[in-house]
Amino acid sequence: MTEQTPARKPRVAVLFGGRSSEHAVSCVTAAGVLGAIDRSKYQVIPIGIARNGQWVLPEGNPEQWALNSGELPEVGPSDETVTLAEIGGTHQLIVAQTNEVPRELGTVDVVFPLLHGPFGEDGTVQGMLELSDTRYVGAGVLASAVGMDKHFMKVIFAAAGLNVGPYVAVTDRQWRTDPAAVRAEVATLGLPVFVKPARAGSSMGISKVDALDQLDAAIASAREHDLKLVIEAGIVGREIECAVLQGHGTDAPRTSMPGEVDISGSTHTFYDFAAKYVDEKAAALSCPADLPADAAAAVREQAAAAFEAVGAEGLSRVDFFYTEQGDVIINEINTMPGFTPVSMYPQMWAASGLSYSELIDELISLALERPVGLR
């Protein structure tokens, strides 16, 4: 069933929190988006997802959430559960509670899933929304899942001709049945190596290993996040990122000017969780990055190619290493990148002439424009 574009203000359900270890980061992102979304144009319904996966109406004022307030923001569980149901061809939010008659919260035209990590950025929530033909911002099921899995992402990037660094993917079975073979394969990468959970984010569970006797401990800590791992050769290079925004209609994806994350002035040995979110001065974010014109062009071209390779929609941030030799090596794609007003993705667009509010508006418009079903 197709829906008419409503004459009233589109109703946007903003989803945040979630089951992943990036719950708090998502809450902070929601604070930014809820504060900047154009209320003269959109009606906004904030919906929190508690750590247990329950959808709830958030308590208090999520717009005030911040990461540096000592306590990490968190969506708590509630007696009331919010569900999304297709009723009479429209999408309704229903609030239900034991022994109470369910009540309607209203129609939803588009969902903005501000969720990072597993059960949010990985295609699961996207699949749930697809089942009810609900429009949503950002990548679909497959692109989200590929963007979440650092192994499959590399397989696809390599197939698309992008420059991927040396790595070893380690499954749970491989590690549990033949750890010696895994250690031997990792040894061929040289040192240091980066040990990562295949599906996490915000540097959770990642260790830099400088000596092979640290490898098992690094594997154990990555396996706390995901039993599938990716172990990569350490790359010496500057960290360059590029923001991609889907084009309207058949237009090509748009790319921002590349930005740079520089932690060389800090005590952090890589861009770890603390450097990202806790230690505010650790990372210097700059945009545009000071790059030769040909390198900046290569980064932008490869960012758009990566976006298309995984079949992303809406937005993605594509991260690279730029080596002293002038090589551009792709690190990863994030289909729901950090999206607070000071995060790299919005900052790169701001430096490229698109403000935070305009960016939110663009993303919602793109989501409202697109058809439902296979596309």
Ligand X SMILES: Nc1ncnc2c1ncn2[C@@H]1O[C@H](COP(=O)(O)OP(=O)(O)O)[C@@H](O)[C@H]1O
- Residues in contact with ligand X by CB under 6 A are 165, 194, 196, 200-203, 206, 232, 234-235, 239, 270-271, 319, 331-332
Q: Which is nearer to ligand X, 119 or 270 (CB)?
A: 270
Q: How many CA atoms lie within 13 A of 200 on its CB side?
A: 23
| 105: amino acid identity, one letter | L
Residue 275 beta carbon to ligand X: minimum distance, rounded to whole angstroms = 8
Cβ closest to ligand X, residue 91 vs residue 196 = 196
Q: What is the DSSP string of 196-244?
A: EESS--TTTT-EEESSGGGHHHHHHHHHTT-SSEEEEE---SEEEEEEE
Residue 55 vs 271, nearer CB to ligand X = 271
Kindly tell me which of 191 and 235 has the beta carbon lying closer to ligand X: 235
Using the minimum distance from each CB to ligand X, give the nearer residue, 126 or 202.
Answer: 202
Q: How many angstroms separate the first and last alpha carbons of the chain? A: 15
Minimum CB separation of residue 146 from ligand X in Å reads 13
CB of 270 to ligand X, least distance (A): 4
Q: How many residues does the chain have?
A: 375
Least distance to ligand X, CB of residue 349, Å: 19
Nearby residues of 290 by Cβ (< 8 Å), 6 or more positions away: 260
Closest CB 338 distance from ligand X, rounded Å:
9
Name residue 320's beta-bridge partners.
Answer: 240, 330
Q: What is the three-class DSSP state of 85?
A: strand
> For ligand X, which is the closer residue by CB, 54 or 286?
286
Q: Enumerate the β-bridge partners of residue 319.
A: 241, 332
Q: Contact 306/157 with Cβ under 8 angstroms? A: yes
Give the Å distances, CA to CA, from 26 to 69, 114, 204, 331.
15, 6, 14, 22
CA 216/CA 194 separation, integer angstroms: 12
Least spacing, CB of residue 189 vs ligand X, in Å: 9
User: At closest approach, how far in Å is the CB of 320 from ligand X?
Assistant: 10
Closest CA to 23 of 112, 117, 113, 111: 117
What is the nearest approach in angstroms of ligand X to the Cβ of residue 135? 27
Residue with Cβ nearer ligand X (112 or 271): 271
Q: Which is nearer to ligand X, 202 or 246 (CB)?
A: 202
Alpha-helical runs (H) found in 14-113: 23-36
Between the CA atoms of 294, 295, 299 and 301, what dihedral angle is there, to the nearest 10 degrees? 20
Q: Which residue is nearest to ligand X (CB)?
A: 271
